[in-house]
Amino acid sequence: MKKIEIIRGDITKFDGDAIVNAANTTLMGGGGVDGAIHRAAGPALYAACEKFNGCPTGEARLTLGFNLPAKYVIHTPGPVWHGGQHQEATLLANSYRHSLELGDQYGCQTIAFPSISTGVYAYPLKQAAQVAIQTISEFLKTAKHVQVVTMVCFDAVTLKAYQDALNDYQK
């Protein structure tokens, strides 16, 4: 049965088919979850990302997981929050959808996401969680391979926001 799980933890420890990296548009590593994934995967991830010459906001690229437990890393740059009037919700939904489509295309059954754009990109957490849950839920209705999508939340505040968004969506 297809489902969304919400856990608190470290996405670099996720043992599944793919993890999603909340990347920047260069795909060359950065702070937050992006830097953590690059450090955990090792230097081969940087080399694999170089060949893409970046990635536009809302799109996604796939590499191997290298030293990570996950087989693949799906890199997606989420939008920077500019007040909500600059297509941020559409771009954020695209980041989730394109990541899921890429995972499905590669036969992934389990995919883990961090909270995209809610760190240094300043997307309001509650709104980001609602976009994520709605987009993932809609995708799962037609997914060929993806069975379980796990939201891996870094802290208790993020965990609660995603739990609330899932509860609201299921009402």
Please report, for the domain that includes residue 115, its CATH number. Answer: 3.40.220.10
| Host domain of residue 93 | 3-170
**What's residue 25's pLDDT?**
96
Tell me how far apart the alpha carbons of residues 30 and 138 are, in angstroms, rounded to a whole number.
30
Strands 110-113, 18-23: pairing is parallel
Active-site residue, 34 included: yes
pLDDT band of 1, cuts 50, 70, 90: confident
Which residues neighbour 32 within 8 Å (Cβ) at sequence distance 6 or greater? 22, 119, 120
Average pLDDT rounded to a whole number, residues 46-70 = 97
The yes-or-no verdict on residue 72 having pLDDT over 90 is yes
Tell me how far apart the alpha carbons of residues 9 and 158 are, in angstroms, rounded to a whole number.
11
**What's residue 171's pLDDT?**
86
DSSP string, 82-102: SSS-SSHHHHHHHHHHHHHHH
For residue 143, how many C-alpha atoms fall within 13 Å in the half-sphere facing its CB?
A: 30
Given 10, 15, 17, 34, the catalytic residue: 34
The pLDDT tens digits for 7-52 are: 999 999 999 999 999 999 999 998 899 999 999 999 999 999 999 9
Q: How many domains does the chain have?
A: 1
**What's residue 95's pLDDT?**
98
**What's residue 38's pLDDT?**
97
Average pLDDT rounded to a whole number, residues 54-75 = 98
The pLDDT tens digits for 108-166 are: 999 999 999 999 999 999 999 999 999 999 999 999 999 999 999 999 999 999 999 99
Tell me how far apart the alpha carbons of residues 17 and 62 are, in angstroms, rounded to a whole number.
12
The pLDDT tens digits for 73-103 are: 999 999 999 999 999 999 999 999 999 999 9
